[in-house]
Amino acid sequence: MIPCPYFLNIEGAHMKQVRNLIRVLLIGSAFFALSTGNCLGAEPDAATAAIVKQMVAAIVTSDHDAFVEHGDAELKSPDNNEILKTMNPRLLEPLKKGYEISYLGTMKAQGHDVTLWRIIYKAGGDDSLVTLYMKNGIVGGFWLK
């Protein structure tokens, strides 16, 4: 129960309405803060955004060189030459019909800056999640789910 200061002189049913109003305002403020993301200064840097967009576009066009351009030695290794050819068709087909990429957030993991991205397909259906691991501007991992 929220205590009511004596100078407000609110009792009974009125106090219940005040408490409900406070709850609604607090919950609404929390949803607004979480939905905008930018209120916390959460913006991706331009270089990272360009890299993730390039890598997703490279998947659509099967451009292996563009996909590994910013990758570490492991990503560029000959063992990964077939990586785009083994792409799941259920992910590839909606990408070819058009998509939008939006930034979700950043975290630290295993010494890398990890950015999360949402792919919204213009053809509809479920969204996909891109997880990009970077260290010193070099891609150490890329997952599309």
pLDDT of residue 50 exceeding 80, the answer is: yes
pLDDT, tens digit, 9 for 90 and up, residues 2-27: 554 444 444 555 556 655 545 544 45
pLDDT of residue 119 exceeding 90, the answer is: yes
What one-letter code names the amino acid at 68?
V
pLDDT, tens digit, 9 for 90 and up, residues 81-101: 787 777 777 888 899 999 999
Q: What does the pLDDT read at residue 91?
A: 83
Q: What is the pTM of this model?
A: 0.69
Find tokens 């913006």 and name the residue.
43
Find tokens 């501007």 and name the residue.
137
**Mean pLDDT (the chain, rounded):** 79
Mean pLDDT value of segment 64-84: 88
Mean pLDDT value of segment 54-82: 90
